């Protein structure tokens, strides 16, 4: 009985995030002199990188294979996640 109480106490003290994986992707935005990068990742793995150059069209870099080694350039996004444009000018 004491063992069960100990486990319950530990379960209450640990954050919920330690039990569950992240279900929402994170987006990291990085700026350079001539490009802006939007890095979409989920659970520490990069899903896609959106590259917005100051001159030229936007393109996407996606992992090349299942081992996530190297990236392949694409003209359109392959992600199916909600993306809303709030402001545009």
pLDDT (average), residues 73-84: 75
Inter-residue contact 34 to 55 (CB < 8 Å): yes
> For residue 88, what pLDDT is reported?
79
pLDDT band of residue 22 (cuts 50, 70, 90) is low
Q: Which helix (H) or strand (E) holds 80?
A: none
Task: Answer whether residue 11 shows pLDDT above 80.
Answer: no
Inter-residue contact 79 to 48 (CB < 8 Å): yes
Task: Answer whether residue 89 shows pLDDT above 90.
Answer: no
Half-sphere exposure of 54 (CA within 13 A, CB side): 5
Rounded to two decimals, the pTM is 0.60
Token code pair at residue 82 = 């909600």
Return the biggest CA–CA distance within the chain: 68
pLDDT digits (tens, 9 = 90+) for 24-75: 778 899 999 999 999 988 888 888 888 999 999 999 988 877 665 788 888 8
CATH no., domain 22-73: 2.20.130.30
> For residue 45, what pLDDT is reported?
83
């Amino acid at each position: 009985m004491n063992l069960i109480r100990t486990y319950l106490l530990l379960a209450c003290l640990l954050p919920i995030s330690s039990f569950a994986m992240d279900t929402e992707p994170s987006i990291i935005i990085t700026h350079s002199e001539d490009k802006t990068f939007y890095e979409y990742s989920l659970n520490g793995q990069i899903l896609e990188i959106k590259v917005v150059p100051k001159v030229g069209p936007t393109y996407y870099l996606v992992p090349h294979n299942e081992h996530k080694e190297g990236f392949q350039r694409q003209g359109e996004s392959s992600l199916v996640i909600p993306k809303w444009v709030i402001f545009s000018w």
